[in-house]
Amino acid sequence: MRLLVTGAAGFIGSALVEAALAAGHEVLSFDALLRAGRLENLAAVRSTPRHRFVKGDVRDAAAVAAAFEIARPDAVLHLAAESHVDVSIASPTPCVSTNVCGTLTLLEASLAWWRKRGRPAHFRFLQVSTDEVFGALGPQDPPFTEESPCRPSSPYAASKAAADHLALAWFRTWGLPVIVTHGTNTYGPRQHREKLIPRAITAALAGRPIPLYGSGAQIRDWIHVEDHARALLAALASAAPGRRWLIGARNELANRVLVGRICALLDEARPACAPHARLIRHVADRPGHDFRYAVDPRAFMAQPDGRRQFP
Ligand SMILES: NC(=O)c1ccc[n+]([C@@H]2O[C@H](COP(=O)([O-])OP(=O)(O)OC[C@H]3O[C@@H](n4cnc5c(N)ncnc54)[C@H](O)[C@@H]3O)[C@@H](O)[C@H]2O)c1
């Protein structure tokens, strides 16, 4: 397939581009190179003939239309976002602008392209969203399912929920083949240093305090970025349009346990600097901090051919 991937120079985007090229697809990477976006993230695919990079902003309708003409996509995988919750709390406007208005621009362009091509049945618009749109779970609550109501807490989560609703409205109103994925917390290479795991590692290596929000009791379900990327390609291959797919790893950990494990691993690697846990500092909690996220990925795995087509 010919894929147009937005946010391709970011953390998950760059892993997705690598996975898509390895699976034989053609990819046009589209990214404005803002904050977390770095061209170096795409270094491994720079000389791949089936890959092109275009610098552009998803809020810029002309740039998006030009990208469609170059990519001639069979599918759009939309990852471009202001993805940091703290940044969205400090400054909500750019977050809402990119995550909501940028998605609107891309949906308009996708609908125009899809109609121009005669509404091909195989076309897909993959809206890459987060489990944060569902809000917080209590310790004993069952994990979120695709029927769970959206109850976002942060401006980031609210903007993603708004974008998801827009995408599904484009399916219900015009039939654009939209799939929404809700992935859990993702870790792995090339994640921006502002996120929990890279921030803890870089602080510990530099001998600086490792900040931990509140008591560190918050629980997240962690998935490796390569698994998340493969799950997105599986959704592209197998998901029925109009559906939400929940992508998780059944790998729930409290933040303080996670940071403790990082410190223990660093103790093994650098015994002279042990114990790294002495650097952990509990800082004032994030306002509106959700206690727990977890998703039930059973529906995802039970999709027709979901397992078989998992690349
Ligand atoms: N990281 C996670 O744990 C996680 C979990 C679930 C879902 N997601 C979703 O996956 C997607 C990617 O997340 P990530 O962690 O890779 O984020 P990231 O911040 O690493 O990358 C985002 C990319 O989007 C680009 N971008 C931002 N604004 C843009 C704009 N206006 N126009 C064009 N490009 C723009 C940035 O330059 C960057 O390359 C996001 O939509 C996010 O909501 C992330």
Cβ–ligand 1 distance for 185 under 6 Å, the answer yes
Residue whose CA is closest, atom 12 of ligand 1?
Answer: 79
Give the per-residue pLDDT at 310: 38
Give the per-residue pLDDT at 84: 94
Report residue 35: phi and psi, to 5°: 40, -85
CB distance 11 to 191 below 8 Å = yes
Q: What percent of the chain has pLDDT over 70?
A: 96
Give the per-residue pLDDT at 303: 60
Residues of the chain with pLDDT under 50: 305-311
Cβ–ligand 1 distance for 81 under 6 Å, the answer yes
Give the per-residue pLDDT at 304: 54
Cβ–ligand 1 distance for 186 under 6 Å, the answer yes
With 0-12 CB in 10 A as exposed, 13-18 as middle and 19+ as buried, what is 307? exposed
Beta-carbon contacts of 22 under 8 Å, excluding residues fewer than 6 positions away, are none
CB distance 7 to 13 below 8 Å = yes
Position in ligand 1 atom list of the atom nearest CA 187: 3
Give the per-residue pLDDT at 211: 95
- Give pTM, 2 decimals: 0.96
Ligand 1 centroid to residue 173 C-alpha, Å: 27
- Across the chain, mean pLDDT equals 95
Give the per-residue pLDDT at 297: 86
Amino acid identity for residue 83 in this structure: S
Residues annotated as catalytic (active site), given as ranges: 131-132, 156
Cβ–ligand 1 distance for 32 under 6 Å, the answer yes
- In whole angstroms, give the CA distance from residue 118 to residue 103: 22
Position in ligand 1 atom list of the atom nearest CA 195: 1
Ligand 1 centroid to residue 8 C-alpha, Å: 8
For residue 164, give the nearest of 223, 243, 97 by alpha carbon: 243
**Type and span of the H or E element at 267:** helix 255-269
Task: For the beta carbon of residue 36, count every other beta carbon within 10 angstroms.
Answer: 23
**Type and span of the H or E element at 65:** helix 61-71
Tokens found for residue 87: 């940044």
Residue whose CA is closest, atom 7 of ligand 1?
Answer: 130
Cβ–ligand 1 distance for 236 under 6 Å, the answer no
Tokens found for residue 43: 């270094």
CATH class of 196-216+253-283: alpha beta
- In whole angstroms, give the CA distance from residue 184 to residue 239: 18
Give the per-residue pLDDT at 306: 45
Choices 3.50.50.60, 3.90.76.10, 3.40.50.720, 3.20.20.80: CATH for 2-189+222-251+293-302: 3.40.50.720
Give the per-residue pLDDT at 15: 98
How is the chain split into domains, by residue range? 2-189+222-251+293-302, 196-216+253-283
Q: Which residues is 229 bridged to in the sheet?
A: none
Tokens found for residue 176: 């654009």
Residue whose CA is closest, atom 8 of ligand 1?
Answer: 130
CB distance 69 to 27 below 8 Å = no
Could you report the per-residue pLDDT of 169-186, keeping only the tens digit for each?
999 999 999 999 999 999
Q: Report the 3 state secondary structure along 70-120.
A: HHCCCEEEECCCCCCHHHHHHCHHHHHHHHHHHHHHHHHHHHHHHHHCCCC
What is the DSSP secondary structure assignment for residue 47, as one 8-state letter? T
Cβ–ligand 1 distance for 83 under 6 Å, the answer yes
